[in-house]
Structure 1
Amino acid sequence: MEAATRTTATRPAATQPKATRPTATRTTAIRASFGLTGATIAALAVLVALPLAFVFLQAIFPALAQGRFTEPFGHLGRTLGDPALLELTLNTLKLGACVVALAALIGIPLGTLRGLFNVPFARVWDVVLLVPFMIPPYIAALGWIMLLQPRGYVQQLVGVHAGPLLFSFGGVVFVMTLNVLPVVYFAVSRGMAASGSRLADVGRVCGGGAWRCFWRISLPLATPGIAASLLLVFAMAIEEYGTPAALAANAGFFVLVTGIERRFSEWPIDLPGASTLSLILVALAMLAFMFQRRLMRGRTFETATGKPIDVELRALGPWRLPVTALFALVALVATVAPLCAIVATAFSRTLSGGLALSNLSWVHFRAIAQTGGDAMQALGTSLALGLGAALLTGVLGLLVAYCVVKTRTRGRVLLDALAMLPNTLPGIVVGVGLILAWNQKWWPATPYNTWGILLLAYCCLLLPYPVRYAQAALQQIGDSLEAAARVHGAGAVTALVRILLPLLAPSLLAAMLLVFAVASRELVASLLLAPTGVQTVSLFIWRQFEQGSVGQGMAMSVVTVLVTTSLMLTVTLWTQRRAAR
């Protein structure tokens, strides 16, 4: 009896430490989440909120550039009262919606086939379909002009041209869709490969048909990645300047971005009006963002268990040849055709000589090599800035996605909105915001007039890529993995680095490669922000076009595409071999 009493009395003391451990762990996790969210918000405040705040202030205070906060809203009524504003806004919405629809119509079926089936030459198609993203949009538009214009390459070969179709709204949608197609294709293919195939096989074992399992299992699991990629496509479509300016301006089709550029380039310069139009672009993109969140509410799925699983791709059977022909057709139109036009122009001695063996020459490449090293220096600068932007946006995008998806702190909605905003503004507006923000006398140190301002611009513009890709991947990873790591003593940072990061690596690496591709050929912000003595590839090409040296500009484009594609292909093959070990 005495022993029994002693045992009963000691039980609460023995169990008390076990009861307090979860509470202490939870408190530490909450503090770590708040600290991580706070640090991420601070980084976004410097990178994103500061320049955008100055754009907002410029729209309110017309004399902000002169350092005066006078006549608030004095210019707003004039801009909003412009009768062309409604047309610019509707044209922007129309362009964005059509590009999204066409990109989804092409990219989703191709991505699904690539992710679920054993497509012949799959890695070749991956590389080929990534090339359009490596070509600057204004270069791609010029390539299509060289192809389809009257007396262009197509007319020289087959006797017909498609000039009226190209220089129209439909031509703009067509060319812009081909430029952004890799965003949808890679998001869908990676999402389908990650979970759709394995769980669809379970559905087939339980008696479901092939189409039923696809519509009820595979497609819903890939929905986060599809929605994220289409949102990026919409944002890219409404902020793209080069293609609408090159193809649709003669047809009288103008959008908000071209209206902004005209207010920057035509005298008198209208900074308040351009800032106001930029805020309208922000509103359009935020409406799309809210629509995506509403559409995806309650439609996220947790499928990653942390166990490595080999995905077995299905055989195409009798569809092998038609699917191969489909990929070949898309690759021919999206990549081969404009690239051939660029290469043909680069190797043509003169444009008037046309497609003739006697007109082929290395003269433009020799001219690049004889520029005193300016071309190679520009290439090295662009590659370094692209790599830096990929690394910084990858780290920050991972932190933003983790705070938004895996924490319950109040600031996560603000984080998500801040990470979305940069992709809704044209590069020229972000450049002006950075100038207004950092060209102030009261800063003790400033990146203005250094290569650092270019890096800030690239990171600001391209941050949504890793954020959206990482969020789509995180939404499929259950909380149990992180909770198990916390129970065994791992902190928030350790769980993020050791548990979640390896699972996110494929999606995050794909996003970082896209950031590298875009940053290494970005034009508008580079034109505005590049300091004296710093030249990028896009600036070198642009200045060759301004000087009338179209052949040298195309030759430099060929060199850039070869170098960047080779680097990205090397990284991709290295990661695949490492994962196979």
Structure 2
Amino acid sequence: MMSKNFFLPALTCAALLLLVALPVTFVILQAIFPHLDSGLFNDAFSAFSRLFKDAQLREMVSATLKVGIGVAVCSGIIGIPLGALRGLFVLPGAVLWDLLFLIPFMVPPYIAALSWMLALQTNGYVEQLSSLHLNDFLFSLPGIVAVMTLNVFPVVYFAVSRSMAASGSRLADVARIHGAGPWRAFVRVTLPLALPSMASSLLLAFTLSIEEYGVPGALGTRSGVNLLTTGIEQRLADWPVDMPGASVLSLVLVALALCAYCVQRAVLGGRNVETLTGKPADRVAKPLGGGKWPAIVLFTLVALVSVALPLMSMTLTAFSGTLSGGIAWQNLTLRHYAALFDIDGDALSALSTSLSLALGTALIAGAVGLLSSWLVVVRQVRGAVAIDALSLLPAALPGIVVGVGLILAWNRFFWPITPYNTWAILLLAYCCLLLPYPVRYVSAAMSQIGSNLDAAARVHGASAAQALWRILLPLVFPSLLAAMMMVFAVASRELVTSLLLAPAGVQTVSVFVWRQFEQGSVGDGMAMASIAVLISLSLMLAAVRLQTRN
């Protein structure tokens, strides 16, 4: 019995060590010992001193912080007012706006950046339609911030709208009765109740932007803006390869994300506001009155800029014969889509590779996430804190850091068998990055169920595995399935680790799109991008709907 009860915890710990702990450990070791490749442990920390003396590091850190802070501030400027209107008032078409604002967050940032390039560059679609020349703005640091903001602001919008809808307006109404004006009641009552979710969403916007590679990779090279993510990629792509430098930069990037988290904790320390009335919050939204049409206009403008323009740019390019032909009926064609399904082409192979890897990732991450959540929430085994920390650690790891860690971990002579330079290294990368999705979903579902059913099954003679398989799994399966669908959707178009780790002859959807732009086959790239976006949107919307129904 002991061996059976030990098997699942041991299997889960082994999976977490393989997927998460191993690449992180090798990043740290390579940063500390620059000659680790040669099996030498001398000159410890010399890579730190060498890199910290480099003026380029200060420029990269400065640019990364500017982008992160700029995206967080701009996301707050857009997301907080829209979220407040959505959460507190009766907004016409509220569900439609929610669905529309899900789209920018679901569209891969690199595809959004490439779409904005086609729309705003010289002789782009915007210049053709309005004569506005925005090329210089796009290829600049403010342009990078703007493009990232239009992808990230839904994080703030949904956090604020849900928080304010949950807290209700009853306490603000009490303040109004006691003489406070509408603005004073909002600032002194409603806003403090939503402050924790606002701070958390702004932190997430900051971390998402400093960890992003696709937008800086697409726009930064032409604007001369070099962030930490692009700096890491350059040290791995340019000869001679600088593994110690890439490792140190990876640790600097992780440190920035952790510092942002600590700042959030310090700012919110002792400032959480709770209601002590013992009564549920009033969730009846207020009518907008005279502000109805201004609110609709505001939501429409944001939706046009963040959703319609990039999707229009992507779609027009996919159906255009040539970019120089511009927007004209005679320039429309289906040849780019026909080229994707050419038997002799690379597109079908890239699509099938991405879908196969995404399916494998969903199954493995779902299984490991289910076991990790079960051990932490239900079984509460010894070492549950370590299991929980390892399973959620990838949420704080930039994709490029995971890629560096896997290169360092598996490109070693002492491994008898290695996934390096095979498709399996991509599977490991995707599983590591996306593991937090099923862990969070399933943990929440198991917390609602509690441990009574598991205990009852054990009392009646069921083993731990039987209780998990026959009782808990059917109950949490809708949440697990929703998480696996989201994992599938994200894995099918992941970029940065695919660029770093894809072996010769293996292409994924994201690599195919990126390479098509590098080679000048923009129409083929956008045709593939539109298919990837359609798959991602369909699956993620289905996952959200499934989770909501559950």
Same structural fold, with TM-score higher than 0.5 when normalized by the shorter chain: yes
Q: Which string of whole-angstrom CA distances, capped at 9 and with x for unpartnered residues, describes residues 219-242 of structure 1?
A: 555444433333332222112223
- Of 124, 127, 143, the residue aligned with 1:155 is 127
Report whether the alignment pairs 1:266 with 2:238.
Answer: yes
Native 8 Å contact 1:241 1:426 kept in 2: no
Q: What is the identity, as a one-letter code, of the residue corresponding to 1:363? A: R
Q: Which amino acid aligns with 1:120?
A: P
Which moved further from structure 2: 176-185 or 48-57?
Answer: 176-185
**Contact 2:171/2:189, CA 8 A, preserved across alignment:** no
Measured in 1, the distance between the counterparts of 2:294 and 2:9 equals 49
What residue is the counterpart of 2:312 in the other structure?
340
Is the CA contact (8 Å cut-off) linking 2:486 and 2:539 kept in structure 1?
Answer: no
1:94 maps onto 2:79 in alignment: no
Q: How has the CA–CA distance of structure 1 residues 253 and 180 changed in structure 2, closer, same or farther, with 3 Å as cutoff?
A: same
**Is residue 279 of structure 1 aligned with residue 251 of structure 2?**
yes
Report which stretch shifted further, 257-266 or 180-189: 180-189
Q: 1:528 to 1:503 in 2, by over 3 A?
A: closer
Secondary structure of the equivalent of 1:535? coil
Asked if the contact 1:141–1:175 (Cα under 8 Å) also holds between the matched residues in 2, the reply is yes
Contact residue 172 and residue 190 of structure 2 kept, 8 A: no
**Structure 2 Cα separation of the partners of residues 224 and 46 of structure 1:** 34
Alignment of 1:378-457 (within 5 A): 378-386=350-358, 389=361, 418=390, 422-423=394-395, 425-440=397-412, 443=415, 446-457=418-429
Structure 2 residue matching 1:355: 3-state secondary structure: coil
Q: Aligned to 1:61, which of 33, 47, 69?
A: 33
Larger mean CA deviation between 548-557 and 74-83 belongs to 74-83
User: Is the 1:454–1:525 Cα contact (8 Å) retained in structure 2?
Assistant: yes
Decide whether the 8 Å contact of 1:133 with 1:518 is kept in 2: no
What residue in structure 1 maps to residue 160 of structure 2? Answer: 188
Count of residue pairs the alignment pairs up: 534
CA distance in 1, matches of 2:492, 2:361: 9
Report whether the alignment pairs 1:45 with 2:22.
no
Inter-partner Cα distance in structure 2 for 1:345 and 1:292? 42
- For 1:138, the aligned partner's letter is Y
Q: 1: CA distance between counterparts of 2:287 and 2:474?
A: 31
Q: What is the CA deviation profile of residues 460-499 of structure 1, one whole-angstrom value per residue up to 9, with x for unaligned ones?
A: 234456677899x79xx99xx959989999999989x999
Q: CA deviation at 1:569?
A: 2.9
Who is 1:12 aligned against?
none
Name the CA distance, whole Å, in 2 between partners of 1:301 and 1:504: 35
Shift of 1:562: 1.8
Deviating more after overlay: 320-329 vs 462-471: 462-471
1:235 has 2:211 as partner: no
- Measure the CA separation in 2 of the matches of 1:101 and 1:368: 40
**What is the alpha-carbon distance in structure 2 between the residues aligned to residue 89 and residue 150 of structure 1?**
30
Aligned residue type for 1:257? T
Task: State the SS of the aligned residue for 1:249.
Answer: helix
Aligned to 1:146: 118
Given residue 196 of structure 1, which amino acid in structure 2 is its aligned partner? S
Partners in 2 of 1:117 and 1:514 — Cα distance?
30
Kindly provide the amino acid, as one letter, of the partner of residue 553 in structure 1: G
Cα distance in 1 for residues equivalent to 2:320 and 2:236: 35
1:320 partnered with 2:259: no
Q: CA deviation at 1:450?
A: 4.6
Residue matched to 2:151:
179
Change (3 A) 1:202 1:568: same
Q: Which region of structure 1 is more displaced relative to structure 2, 330-339 or 521-530?
A: 521-530
Bigger drift between 35-44 and 343-352 goes to: 35-44
Q: Which residue does the alignment assign to 2:500?
A: 528
What's the CA shift for 1:341? 1.1
Percent of paired sites with the same residue: 54
* Counterpart code for 1:157: L
Root-mean-square deviation (CA, aligned residues, Å) is 4.4
CA drift at 1:190: 3.8
Preserved CA contact (<8 Å) 1:187 1:229: yes
Structure 1 gaps of 5+ residues are 1-31
Q: Could you tell me how far 1:514 is from its partner in structure 2?
A: 5.6
Equivalent residue in structure 2 for 1:553, among 500, 507, 525: 525
TM-score in terms of structure 1 length: 0.77
Partners of 1:360 and 1:175 in 2: how far apart?
27
Query: Deviation at 1:272?
Result: 0.8
Tell me the CA shift for residue 291 of structure 1.
1.9
Q: Pick closer, same or farther for the CA change 1:36–1:119 going to 2, 3 Å.
A: farther
Kept in 2: contact 1:229–1:468 (CA 8 A):
no
Q: Distance in 2 between matches of 1:287 and 1:166?
A: 29
- Over 3 Å counting, the alpha-carbon distance change for 1:293 and 1:464 in structure 2 is farther
Hey, what's the Cα distance between the residues in 2 that align with 1:435 and 1:349?
40
Q: In the TM superposition, what is the alpha-carbon distance from 1:65 to its structure 2 partner?
A: 3.0
Is the contact between residue 199 and residue 264 of structure 2 (CA under 8 Å) also seen in structure 1?
A: yes
- Which segment drifts farther, 286-295 or 397-406? 397-406
Q: Quote the residue 2:341 is aligned against.
A: 369
- The aligned residue for residue 221 of structure 2 is 249
